[in-house]
Structure 1
Amino acid sequence: MPAKKENPIHSLIAGTTAGAVEAFVTYPTEFVKTRTQFGGQREGPLAIVRETLRSKGIVGLYSGCSALVVGNATKAGVRFVSYDHFKSLLADKEGKVSAPRSLVAGLGAGMTEAVIAVTPSETIKTKMIDDAKRPNPQYRGLVHGTASIIRQEGFFGIYRGLFPVMMRQGANSAVRFTTYSTLKQFVQGTARPGQQLPSGITFGIGAIAGLVTVYSTQPLDVIKTRMQSLSARQQYRNSFHCGYRILTEEGVLRFWTGTTPRLARLIMSGGIVFTIYENIISVIGGREQE
């Protein structure tokens, strides 16, 4: 039977939609995760939620949300299109992709999305969250915040932390796609040929992929957040210096700060993204016969 491949336009539509929905639904966990990773006094997730709701209301939990929604939609679109492209290049004659090749395809997709979408949106989001906890925040929204960062630091100010973001996204996508595709192939092997997996099964597989991703890439996420904070230029020379200072001054466990809220987000996001993506692809007929 001829293998099926993803139509790039349909893959882009499905990925972008899934990314936007996932970012908005899970944003409060991203807000809390980012706040816990800044330097200084440690704050627990529940304490951050209580303080934010008391001082700014529920809107406060969405500080910097617009940056992540736009960036996540772009990121997800780029991720699925580039992953599908790399996967098609690495597939065997029957159209199947082994776990090691899926890992390479995911790594390539992660690196691509880091440069095109993730670094700018993550930098802006992180600075807006950092700014929001000040008594008198200077950023009035996504457009004003972006313009202010570029005016103060130049265009490359929104690319601060590019290296740890590339490392994190490469590792994220490599682990996430490999786990997802391996589990999906295993489950499909037990189903009838041509049978589409139920949304509940897809959600569960995506959630497991998110769980594995969190624990294996959390140190890179912490370094990324520190390098994108408002005080990064005064504290760290580069990503390696940042990692060294965290290790020697705060201890190795500090690299797993924010694991709980990030775990909550990636379990949900893995399930949401893959479920929405697969369903949209199914509806619009996004896979073609090779």
Structure 2
Amino acid sequence: MALQTQIRENFPEQKVSLFSQLRKEHLLAGIAGGTTSTLLLHPLDLIKIRFAVNEGATRSLNRPQYNGVFDAFGSIYRTEGIRGLYQGVVPNILGAGSAWGLYFFFYNAVKSWLQEGDPRRDLGPAVHLAAATNSGVLTLALTNPIWVVKTRLCLQYDASCKNYHGFVQTLGKIYRAEGVRGWYKGFVPGLFGVSHGALQFMAYEEMKTQYNLSLGRNTDHRLETLEYLAFGGLSKIFATMTTYPYQVLRARLQDQHRQYRGVLDVIRQIRTHEGFVGFYKGLVPNLLRVTPATAITFFVYESIISMFTPKSN
């Protein structure tokens, strides 16, 4: 209450509706950023998923075994070619593009609404976290079926016996065999994963804000290319190290080769058979992918937004 009182004393009261803050440039910029980074780095995402679902040689007799990231690259390329490294790329592009676009779209609308239309108002980490959390839940509800399709396509190991062929066919086949529930497998750990995006956006916003304030500039001052790349990459590392296990849980629930009785069953089996390290399988290729991917995404996003926003002095 004291914070709200202070804000109202420092800034004039403005009545701004949430819907009036929905701006298409944030949607388009987010789609462009997510699509660009996914096209460049999809093979690392595929390898991360294969590592995440692998319970070990004794429990994964039907899965290929890899000795690290480079061995996985070489093995997939030798057996499946370039196409093998890009299995699931279409739903990944659709998912990443729509997820980033919707996330930026919702997040900036909520943030602007809380700022009452004043982009220079510093909301603080707690409010940034709340805005990002709300945006994450909305985005996940709209995009979860895309991630299920991507996971299924990425986990087709043998080109001679593929059950799924493309995004639309896979979406339809999952629905016919499993119903709407099939589209929303992994949704619960995905909700835990909302904290990942929330922490990332909070860290990104706070780094930008504190950096500008340290240089005596307005909080909405547009930054340089390397600054966006650095803050985007650092915020992703922070969020990934904090929340990575949910990605393992979600991938295993969405895996067509194994059946679990829910999130608690996955947790129990990983803890029993693989130990603590099982919750972090695929972390290395994931960090190799998401750090530059997020830096690229934020850079492309901010570059497009800069076209619509004059630089502050």
* Both structures adopt the same fold (TM-score exceeding 0.5): yes
Change (3 A) 1:79 1:286: farther
Contact 2:52 2:282 (8 Å CA) reproduced: yes
Larger radius of gyration: 2
Pairing 1:24–2:31 present = no
Aligned match of 2:244: 218
Length-normalised TM-score, structure 2: 0.84
Contact 1:7 1:286 (8 Å CA) reproduced: no
TM-aligned CA deviation for residue 148 of structure 1: 1.8
Deviates more, 1:172-181 or 1:40-49: 40-49
Deviates more, 1:134-143 or 1:267-276: 134-143
- The CA distance in 1 between the partners of 2:308 and 2:49, in whole Å, is 36
- The CA distance in 1 between the partners of 2:44 and 2:216, in whole Å, is 38
| Cα-to-partner distance string for 1:160-219 (whole Å, 9 max, x where unaligned) | 111111211x11211100110111112212346365211111101100011111111111
TM-aligned CA deviation for residue 16 of structure 1: 1.3
TM-aligned CA deviation for residue 137 of structure 1: 1.1
Pairing 1:124–2:127 present = no
What pairs with 1:6-155 in structure 2 (closer than 5 Å)? 8-40=23-55, 41=57, 43=66, 44-91=68-115, 95-117=121-143, 119-133=144-158, 135-155=160-180
**Which stretches in structure 2 are left out of the alignment for 5+ residues?**
1-10, 15-19, 58-64
Give the AA of the match of 2:214.
Answer: T
| Cα-to-partner distance string for 1:225-269 (whole Å, 9 max, x where unaligned) | 00000034x3x1111211121112210111011111111122112
Deviates more, 1:129-138 or 1:209-218: 129-138
- The CA distance in 2 between the partners of 1:238 and 1:211, in whole Å, is 28
SS of alignment partner, residue 120 of structure 1: helix
SS of alignment partner, residue 155 of structure 2: helix
Identity %: 25
Contact 1:15 1:76 (8 Å CA) reproduced: yes
- The CA distance in 2 between the partners of 1:286 and 1:216, in whole Å, is 35
Give the AA of the match of 1:45.
Answer: V
What pairs with 1:237-248 in structure 2 (closer than 5 Å)? 237-248=261-272
Change (3 A) 1:240 1:78: same
Contact 1:164 1:239 (8 Å CA) reproduced: yes
- The CA distance in 1 between the partners of 2:196 and 2:284, in whole Å, is 17
Contact 2:249 2:267 (8 Å CA) reproduced: yes
How many residues in Structure 1 have an aligned counterpart in Structure 2?
A: 282
- The CA distance in 1 between the partners of 2:115 and 2:308, in whole Å, is 24
TM-aligned CA deviation for residue 7 of structure 1: 5.8
TM-aligned CA deviation for residue 286 of structure 1: 9.1
Aligned match of 1:256: 280
Give the AA of the match of 2:255.
Answer: S
| Cα-to-partner distance string for 1:55-114 (whole Å, 9 max, x where unaligned) | 111221110010010111111111011111222343387622101111111111211111
Change (3 A) 1:285 1:132: farther
**Which stretches in structure 1 are left out of the alignment for 5+ residues?**
none
SS of alignment partner, residue 110 of structure 2: helix
Give the AA of the match of 1:55.
Answer: T
SS of alignment partner, residue 196 of structure 1: coil
- The CA distance in 2 between the partners of 1:154 and 1:68, in whole Å, is 21
CA RMSD of aligned residues (A): 2.3
Aligned match of 2:61: none
- The CA distance in 1 between the partners of 2:224 and 2:244, in whole Å, is 30
TM-aligned CA deviation for residue 156 of structure 1: 2.5
Length-normalised TM-score, structure 1: 0.90
